[in-house]
Chain A
Amino acid sequence: MTESEICDRLKAALPDAVEEFESQLLDPAIRVKPARLVEACRFLRDDPSTRMHYLRLVTGVDRLPAGETPGRIEMVYHLWSYEKRHGIVLRVHLDRDNPVADTVCGVWPVANWGEREAFDLLGVTFTGHPDLKRIMMPVDWVGHPLRKDYQRPDRYHGLPTNRTAVLEQGRVQVATAEHVAKAEPVSGYMQLNMGPHHPATHGVINFLIETDGEVLRRAIPDVGYLHRGIEKISEMVGYLGTMPYTDRVDYLGAMFTNHGWALAVEKLCNIEVPRRAEFCRVIASELNRIASHQIATGALAMDLGAFTPFLHWIREREKINDIMERICGARLTYNYMRFGGVSRDIDQVTIDEIRRWLDHYEPMMLEFDRLISGNEIFIRRLANVAVIDPDDAIAYGLVGPNLRGSGLAWDVRRDEPYSIYNEFEWDVITGTGVHGVVGDAFDRYDCRLREIRESVRILRQACERIPEGEVRTKTARIKPAANEVYTRVEGPRGECGFFVVSDGTDKPYRSRFRTGSFTAMTIIEHLSPGLMIADLVALIGSLDVLAPEIDR
């Protein structure tokens, strides 16, 4: 169904809910009445012709009053149906001074954190939300940073918030911990803070866990320790200036955030990408995917106590880093993509190096299987643990290998094609439950490992077929007209989406990065009861959550 058909369908069912159909946008949106939002959502989810079970993105945009029009806050809901392969954007306009909306947590549980973020950063209150509190900013923070008229405080608990103050002081001041006690009221069970500095949390994430001996009663993730406000920064530094910042969104898969951002702006400005540049993008991205999956699988093994596999993968990743250094000059923060191409060409020497590395790498994968993935202890630690069934996976917005691990064959590269991925021969990997049930931790691990093999396949073909030509089209100044766009790429942690609102200036009006880890975290609280502490570690590792990607 096209968007207008969906709109008609909604109008037919709930005639008074639809306010307007905004078809001029790149992603056409239906504006609904705030009071009828939940109803409309539930209808679109359950109606047999729409079946939008997946809430892709929930976010808000702050519109300052301009002339006649009063200020407003727009809540934007991107819905998608895996089944019907169509999507729609819902939008509600809220009063800017007192923005109140009904929560859609009851329709899609994944909305929980998205709404908390809107509450935190935009100040929208959601009635009926189960746990409405700040998520990124400290609990005692004043103001809502993504409001357009927000004034940044100079100091927070005596810490300077800008560099000039640091330079004036002549040294970097370290916080004197005014730690906010997070523990909930005593419940009769042992309560523990697992993190923020815990070896298994892969960065600074905190889990408030409540255990009965070794068995968890629940684990509540607490994030925001790595919040750098990249979305706010992007509003200040312009389109190209945001490119290096997207590296920092997901430092293990910087190529993908680069790619997604480039796609978004290219779509806004209608920029063509030369063919050789597309190949360069694919080669760089797939190398990056291998590197990222290596960290994910290796770190999972390390969390389960086997240190060596991790370092063997690091050894291989080192070679990828060397190649990346040749391609784009950096080992981690690539900043490789540009609007209309890539920053540098990949020369023949590097392509030969990639080929030689692939020759070396393929036997290494078998070796890794022998070392760890075939190991009986390892299998028993992961098989049948933390099973996510496909319905849950969709409802909680899992994406990428986590979703495919649950048996759903969905890969953005194949199903919503971008770049030139549909020219290559490769397969979408799904979990098969080799050692247990479909959707268990081992499946997610296994999906990643087998995806590495697919990436190797793509890389071989891309290295073979890369054409001659330009790698970057000359672009005029990036100044897209007012519009909205949502683009996505398949990152190592799943769908990596970029929602960009432009307003005719050379800076994005609002941008929102939809990352796989952010939604993956929401399912942990749901899955944790009954797991053991060691299983929680395996769950976190198998979901491959990455702190900077959660917090952005």
Chain B
Amino acid sequence: MNIMHYLADLLVRSLFKADPATWPYTWIAYAVVIGVGALLAFAFVAIFAGPVTWIERRIAGRIQSRIGPNRNGPQGCLQWLADGIKCWLKEDLVPATADKPLYLAAPYLVFTGMFGAFVVLPFGAHVIAADLNVGLLYILAVTSLVVVGLLMAGWGSNSKWALFGGVRSAAQLVSYEVPSAFSLMAVVLMAGTLSTQGIVGAQGGWPWQWFVFRNPFLFAAFIMYFISAIAEGNRTPFDLPEAESEIIAGYNIEYSGMRFLFFLFAEWANMWIMAAVATLAFLGGWQIPGISPERIAEAKGWTFVGWQALSFAIFVFKGTCLVFTIIQIRWTLPRLRVDQLMITCWKYLVPLSMGSATGVLLLMALVREGGIVDWVMRGAMLLVGLLVAGAYIRKVRATFMADRDNYKKMEGRDLWYPPYRLP
């Protein structure tokens, strides 16, 4: 039972002392609860997308040996609010030759496409707007709406650079839908359901219960999904539609004020959606280690609320880690060229993701779940993951050490300046 359903029924029972199953006005209660839920989700998007802009700028700053915005509010944490208000107050320019209806509607379409996906994201054990039984399919479908919005923006602006951006993004999004769908298909095969809660439920709280470490094919599928998700979110190295050094800003070049903000809003919200989908499909979603979903469902009163909060926190934490990685990738890699973008998709990601889906199918047929081979595989994949993390830490440390003494000699100050030391 989903939390909104539960709340709506509770409302009907306690307020109107009626049985929600028979009461004729139950739908009003449902509508009210849905409205409130949508508002909450919107608030989450806003509150997430806003500070993430600030966090990204701070992270980018540190990566580039800068500080980043730190003046507006404590450590600049209100910067996003100031930017938002500034954009809101700015004039909403419409180019004289623009195709008005398309131009005006495009940002909303983009935003709707992004926002729609939030309906099926399972933020916690029961914190979900609607647990559709075609959840993943719904996400794939509804985020495709974005393409239409971007094309409309590119065409409606009646600017050649914007048109380039719009067409580039259409080509890119349509292409990368394929590998991302195939990678998710591997997960769907494993879970046997398209429902997001079902997929999370098929995993567990501990890393070896996550799909990503189940077998090598799923590990590969995770990486491929992550790459195509970055591409779908128009982030570097796939940010061709808004490549500022080639086509200046792409589809949003003519926009200003609030409509421009909507595009940015959508971009950052999309980043979260991609991270959330990767989390729920591969990284165990909101699962609390050691606590089974049944125990959460059976819990009463504050324990129930506590479990919900904890699972929510776990989900958001995992998602945020992925968001951080996306940000870091953005500030590390250069951009691909258009033909290379297509080559990456059609020559590499599509066949490989198809292969991984097939591989998962084969393993499902051959390996008994919980059997010795299964456990060996999980252990090996976990080991691989740990090794990669270890190599990463060693490299980071070596990079740091290469400069430490020389820097000290040059500047007379220590190079060590961990992220928690805020200037």
Q: Please list the residues of chain A having a beta carbon within 8 angstroms of any beta carbon in chain B.
A: 190, 192, 198-200, 214, 301-308, 311-312, 315, 319, 353, 356-357, 359-360, 363-364, 366-367, 370-372, 375, 377-378, 380-381, 532-535, 537
Selected from A301, A353, A364, A532, the residue in CB contact (under 8 A) with B334 is: A301
Contact of B248 among A198, A372, A380 (CB under 8 A): A198
Contact A367–B331 (Cβ < 8 Å): no
Beyond the given A532-B339, A534-B338, please list 12 additional residue pairs across the A-B interface where CB-CB is below 8 A.
A305-B239, A311-B65, A319-B410, A360-B403, A360-B406, A363-B402, A367-B399, A367-B403, A381-B334, A381-B336, A534-B243, A534-B335
In the assembled complex, the CB of B170 is this many whole angstroms from the nearest CB of chain A, namely 13
Question: Are A378 and B334 closer than 8 Å at their CB atoms?
Answer: yes
A359–B334 CB distance below 8 A: no
The chain A residue sitting closest to B160, CB to CB, is: A192
24 pairs from A and B in contact (CB 8 Å cutoff)? A190-B160, A199-B245, A200-B246, A214-B164, A304-B334, A305-B239, A305-B333, A306-B236, A308-B64, A308-B332, A356-B409, A356-B410, A363-B402, A363-B403, A367-B399, A370-B399, A377-B237, A377-B336, A377-B340, A381-B336, A381-B340, A532-B337, A533-B246, A534-B243
Q: Please state if A535 and B337 are interface contacts (CB–CB under 8 Å).
A: yes
B333 partner residues in chain A, CB cutoff 8 A: 305-306, 375, 377
Interface string of B219-239 (1 = CB under 8 A from A): 000000000000000001101
Q: Is the CB of B332 within 8 A of A304?
A: no
**Are B161 and A306 neighbours in the complex by a CB distance under 8 Å?**
no
Q: A359-B406, A535-B337, A537-B246 are in contact. Are A305 and B237 (CB under 8 A)?
A: yes
Provide the bound-state CA to CA distance between A304 and B410, in Å: 32
Q: Say whether B19 faces chain A, with CB atoms less than 8 Å apart.
A: no
Q: A312-B65, A315-B65, A377-B336 are in contact. Are A537 and B331 (CB under 8 A)?
A: no
Residues of B within 8 A of A311 (CB): 64-66
Most A CB contacts (10 A, CB to CB) among B60, B246, B403 go to B246
**Taking the nearest CB of chain B, how far is it from the CB of A353, in angstroms?**
8
Name the distance in Å between B194's Cβ and chain A's nearest Cβ.
Answer: 34
B230 CB → nearest A CB, Å? 13
Q: Nearest chain-A residue to B415 (Cβ)?
A: A360
For A190, the chain B residues whose CB sits under 8 A away are 160
Shortest Cβ distance from A181 into chain B, in angstroms?
15
* Set of chain B residues within 8 Å of A307, measured between Cβ atoms: 60, 64, 331
Q: What residue of chain A has the Cβ atom nearest to residue B161's Cβ?
A: A192
Report the separation of the CA atoms of residues A2 and B290 in the bound assembly, to the nearest whole angstrom. Answer: 90
Q: Considering the chains assembled together, what is the distance between the CA atoms of A381 and B240 in angstroms?
A: 13
Taking residues whose C-beta sits less than 8 angstroms from the other chain, chain B's interface range is: 20 to 34
- With most chain A CB atoms within 10 A of its CB, the pick from B63, B337, B402 is B337
What residues of B have a CB within 8 angstroms of the CB of A306 in the complex? 236, 332-335
- Which residues from B are CB-within-8-Å of A535? 337
Shortest C-beta distance, A182 to chain B (Å), equals 15
User: Is A305's CB under 8 angstroms from B236's CB?
Assistant: yes
The one of B244, B340, B407 that contacts A360, using a Cβ cutoff of 8 Å:
B407
Identity of the chain A residue whose Cβ is nearest the Cβ of B238 in the assembled complex: A305
Residues A302 and B245 in contact, CB atoms below 8 Å apart: yes
B33 within 8 A of A: no
Name A534's contact: one of B63, B66, B246, B403 (CB within 8 Å).
B246
Which 9 pairs show the lowest CB-CB distances between chains A and B? A305-B335, A306-B334, A311-B64, A360-B406, A304-B334, A363-B402, A303-B245, A200-B245, A356-B410
Q: Is B104 an interface residue (CB 8 A)?
A: no
Cβ A372 vs Cβ B334 within 8 A: yes
Q: Is B87 an interface residue (CB 8 A)?
A: no
Smallest CB gap from B249: residue in A:
A199
CB distance from A205 to the nearest CB of B (A): 14
Q: Which of B244-287 contact A (CB under 8 A)?
A: 244-248
Proximity string of chain B (46-73) to chain A, C-beta cutoff 8 Å, 1 when within and 0 when not: 0000000000000010011110000000
What is the bound-complex CA distance between A308 and B328, given in angstroms? 10
Could you tell me the dominant secondary structure of chain B's interface residues? loop
Query: Which of chain A's residues have a CB closer than 8 A to the CB of B247?
Result: 533
Q: B399 to nearest A CB, angstroms?
A: 6
A315 to B65, CA, bound (A): 7
Closest residue of chain A to B330 (Cβ to Cβ) is A307
Complex Cα distance, B241 from A214, in Å, reads: 12
The distance in angstroms between the C-alpha atoms of A311 and B338, with both chains bound, is: 25
Q: How far is the CA of A371 from the CA of B399 in the complex (A)?
A: 11
A308-B64, A366-B402 are contacts. A199–B334 as well, Cβ < 8 Å? no
- Nearest Cβ distance between residue B161 and chain A, in whole angstroms? 7
List of B residues within 8 angstroms of A380 by Cβ: 336-337, 340
A366 to B398, CA, bound (A): 12
Provide the bound-state CA to CA distance between A371 and B328, in Å. 12
Q: In whole angstroms, how far apart are the Cα atoms of A506 and B417 in the complex?
A: 57
Q: Report the minimum CB–CB distance from B338 to chain A (whole Å).
A: 5
Cα(A416)–Cα(B248), bound, Å: 43
- B85 to chain A minimum Cβ distance, whole angstroms, is 26
Write the nearest CB–CB distance from A380 to chain B, whole angstroms: 6
User: Which residues from A are CB-within-8-Å of B337?
Assistant: 380-381, 532, 534-535
Interface centre among A302, A319, A360 (most CB of B within 10 A): A360
Q: Which residues from chain A contact B237 at a C-beta distance below 8 Å?
A: 305, 377
- CB 8 Å contact bits of B368-408 with A (1 = contact, 0 = none): 00000000000000000000000000000001001100110
CA A292 – CA B245 in complex, angstroms? 20
Identify B402's interface contact among A303, A305, A367, CB under 8 A.
A367
* In the bound complex, CA of A366 to CA of B403 (Å): 11
Q: A192-B160, A306-B334, A381-B334 are in contact. Are A364 and B64 (CB under 8 A)?
A: no
- Residues in chain A near residue B246, CB distance under 8 A: 200, 533-534, 537
Residues in B whose Cβ lies below 8 Å from that of A214: 164, 338
Q: Provide the bound-state CA to CA distance between A533 and B167, in Å.
A: 14
Residues of A within 8 A of B64 (CB): 307-308, 311-312
Contact between A359 and B409, CB atoms less than 8 A apart: yes
Determine whether the beta carbon of A537 is less than 8 Å from that of B334. Answer: no
- Which of B236, B247, B399 is the most central at the interface, judged by chain A CB atoms within 10 Å of its CB? B247
Residue of A192, A359, A381 touching B410 (CB-CB under 8 A): A359
Q: Is the CB of A305 within 8 A of B243?
A: yes
Q: Name which residue of chain B comes closest to A370, CB basis.
A: B399
Residue of A nearest to B332 (CB): A308
CA distance A353 to B334 in the complex (A): 33
A536 to chain B, nearest CB (A): 8
Chain B residues lying within 8 Å of A304, measured Cβ to Cβ, are 245, 334-335
The CA of A305 and the CA of B331, in the complex, are separated in Å by 9
Residues of B within 8 A of A360 (CB): 403, 406-407, 409-410
Against A, the Cβ 8 Å flags (1 = close, 0 = not) of B171-193 are: 00000000000000000000000
Residue of A nearest to B402 (CB): A363
In the complex, A185→B69 CA distance in Å?
47
CA distance A214 to B336 in the complex (A): 14
Chain B residues lying within 8 Å of A378, measured Cβ to Cβ, are 334
Residues of A within 8 A of B332 (CB): 306, 308, 371
Distance in Å: Cβ of B245 to nearest Cβ of chain A? 5
Minimum C-beta distance from B119 to chain A (A): 33
A537 and B247 alpha carbons, distance in the complex (Å)? 10
Distance in angstroms from A322 CB to nearest chain B CB is: 11
When the two chains form their complex, are residues B334 and A305 in contact, meaning their CB atoms are under 8 A apart?
yes
Residue from B66, B245, B403 in contact with A305 in the complex, judged by beta carbons closer than 8 Å = B245
| Chain A nearest Cβ from B63, distance in angstroms | 6
Closest to B403 in A: A363
- The closest CB in chain A to the CB of B171 belongs to A214
A353 and B337 alpha carbons, distance in the complex (Å): 42
Q: Which residue among A199, A305, A308, A533 has the maximum number of chain B CB atoms within 10 Å of its CB? A: A305
Query: What's the Cα separation between A266 and B109 when bound, in Å?
Result: 69
Q: Which residues of A contact B164 (CB under 8 A)?
A: 214, 533
In the complex, the chain A residue whose C-beta lies closest to that of B409 is: A356
Tell me the smallest distance from the CB of A294 to a CB of chain B, in Å: 14
- Please indicate the chain A residues that have their CB under 8 angstroms from the CB of B402 in the complex: 363, 366-367
Report the separation of the CA atoms of residues A199 and B60 in the bound assembly, to the nearest whole angstrom.
20
- CB-CB < 8 A to B245: which residues of A? 199-200, 302-305, 537
- Cα(A277)–Cα(B115), bound, Å: 67
Q: Name the one of A199, A356, A363, A377 contacting B244, with C-beta atoms under 8 angstroms.
A: A199
